[in-house]
Amino acid sequence: MNALVKIIRDDDGILIDDPQWHLVDPCYPGVYGAALCTGEVFGPGESAVEFELKVVKRGIPCALCQEVVRAYKDVKL
C-alpha cells in the first residue's frame, strides 16, 4: 500500500496551482510525514501545510517521486 499526500497550500501559505499526489516518504521520522520528492513536511505540529492524504494499492502519480524510487531501486545491497 502506498500512502500519498496532496499539498494544497505550502508552509509559506501559498496556494499550490494544480497540486499533485506525492508519495509519503516511508522513512520520515515524524508523526505524519513528508513528500518524498520535495521533502515538504506536513501534519499538525509539523508545519502549516494544508494537505490531503490517501492510501492506494499501487501507483505513484508524481513523476519526480517515481524517479526517486527508481534511484533507490538501483542501489545494490
* pLDDT tens string 18-64: 999 999 999 988 778 999 999 999 998 889 999 999 999 999 999 99
Compute the distance between CA of residue 65 and CA of residue 77 in angstroms, rounded to an integer. Answer: 21
Average pLDDT over residues 5-25: 95
Range of the domain at 67: 2-73
Q: What is the mean pLDDT of residues 2-13?
A: 94
Domain count, the chain: 1
Whose cell is 501559498? That residue is: 14
Q: What per-residue confidence (pLDDT) applies to 30? A: 76
Quick one: pLDDT at residue 5? 97
